[in-house]
């Protein structure tokens, strides 16, 4: 039974899902906005929020190790530690915002844009 299970099924198996989440999270962090389907956004949003929260911890070496274990991309971990941790130092959560973009032309899938917000006024960056 699936009682209280919060895994969103977006891939064919666990390895595909984790690979997809890592890639999407890297794109959101590096480009600061990504347009994809709504199910993928619902799966990647908590993952990105956790990565930013890890980057804000006091112990930087441990944060770098934990981030690179999850994402495995040097530029992504560098941007998290150097830029995003400083940008969101006064925020406790809510680092991303989603916008509905309508349906995709080919298969009518609902498209959503996820982007990192600017911490100063809550606007997009």
Residue 3, pLDDT score: 86
Residue 121, pLDDT score: 55
User: How high is the mean pLDDT in each 10-residue block of the chain (125 residues)?
Assistant: 80 87 94 94 93 92 91 88 92 94 93 89 56
Cβ neighbours of residue 114 closer than 8 Å, sequence gap 6 or more: 28, 33, 34, 36, 41, 44, 45, 48, 96, 97, 98
CB count in 10 Å sphere of residue 67? 22
Cβ neighbours of residue 43 closer than 8 Å, sequence gap 6 or more: 8, 10, 17, 20, 21, 24
Residue 122, pLDDT score: 52
Residue 47, pLDDT score: 93
Residue 123, pLDDT score: 59
| Closest C-alpha to 115, from 87, 92, 94 | 94
Domains of the chain: 14-116 (3.90.1030.10)
> Could you tell me the pTM of the whole model?
0.86
Residue 6, pLDDT score: 76
Integer angstrom CA distances of residue 73 from 45, 79, 117: 18, 10, 22
């Amino acid at each position: 039974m699936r009682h209280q299970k919060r895994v969103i099924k977006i891939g064919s198996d666990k390895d595909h899902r984790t690979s997809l989440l890592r890639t999407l999270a890297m794109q959101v962090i590096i480009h600061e906005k990504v347009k994809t389907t709504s199910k993928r956004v619902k799966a990647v949003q908590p993952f990105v929020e956790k990565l930013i929260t890890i980057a804000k911890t006091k112990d930087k070496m441990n944060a770098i190790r934990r981030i690179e274990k999850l994402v495995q991309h040097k530029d992504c971990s560098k941007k998290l530690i150097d830029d995003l941790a400083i940008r969101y130092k006064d925020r406790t959560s809510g680092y991303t915002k989603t916008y509905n973009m309508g349906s995709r032309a080919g298969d009518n899938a609902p498209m959503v844009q996820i982007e990192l917000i600017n911490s100063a006024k809550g606007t997009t960056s």
